Amino acid sequence: MCAKELHVDVRKVRKYVLQELRALRPIDVQMATICASCREMAPHSIWSEVDAVDWKKGLSQFAKWFPKPFELEPPGSLKALWIGLFNPVGLLRRTNTDCYVAGTSRFIDAGVDWACNPSWFPNGRYCNSKALKPLNRFEMRTKDAGYIGLEQAISEAFVAFAWAHAIQIIGPARLLGVNSSLGLGFGWDSGDNLVLGKLVPDGLVLADDLEALYKKT
């Protein structure tokens, strides 16, 4: 097989992510499992650098950041929360990977564009994630293989795992506020709209399928 034909099957990885979410193992174990699956699909020397990312520290940073926007700018009545992945340009004009949180008055019943034009867009919405930050650079270094889809697959996995763990660490009440439940969605601003599940007073209720929105009839 030509190197340029190698790529990560993102849809297959999402199924693995859901399996890991159900098990809720430690995040470093979860990410190692996902990275190993991706490496099998698209072998490349870059995976040794992905393996060196400290996912535990990434989770710690995520869990410290995530409740702050809710405390500083309480969102009021919402239907859902959205974690968006995007590529900010940092110092030295270097493109990074990061995520932000927003809230909406709509959820998946409004269709694939439910997360557009959020009603809650707090000032402290950006995570500045050190775990996500290098993923775009890693992806660019697979140009010799025609780009392998590393950034999309690994960033989606980390956000899903970090969010699920953070809910356990933070507790649902601090995030729900006046709401009895909140839909949870995530994904790339320019990509698929994925559904993590629903947040209720007892915790996270996982979706049956992260791609459920695209399979509605």
Q: What is the pLDDT of residue 1?
A: 35
Runs of H (alpha helix) within the chain: 10-23, 27-41, 47-51, 55-65, 68-72, 135-140, 150-170, 173-176
Which H or E run contains 183?
Answer: strand 182-188
The one-letter amino acid code at 34 reads: I
Q: What is the pLDDT of residue 204?
A: 95
Task: Give the number of other Cβ atoms within 10 Å of residue 171's Cβ.
Answer: 13
Residues 6+ apart with CB under 8 A from 10: 149, 152, 153, 156
Regarding beta strands 203-206 and 98-104, do their DSSP bridges make them parallel or antiparallel, or are they unpaired?
Answer: unpaired
CA distance 165 to 204: 10
Residues 2-13 pLDDT 10s: 345 579 999 999
pLDDT, tens digit only, all 217 positions of the chain: 334 557 999 999 999 999 999 998 999 999 999 999 999 999 999 999 999 999 999 999 999 999 999 999 999 999 999 999 999 997 778 899 999 999 999 887 757 788 888 999 999 999 999 999 999 999 999 888 788 899 999 999 999 999 999 999 999 999 999 999 999 999 998 878 899 999 999 999 999 989 876 554 3
Q: Tokens 């990410």 belong to which residue?
A: 31
Residues 97-127 pLDDT 10s: 999 999 999 887 757 788 888 999 999 999 9
pTM: 0.92
Q: What is the dihedral of CA 114, 209, 44, 146, to 10 degrees?
A: -50
Task: Give the residue extent of every domain in the chain.
Answer: 3-215
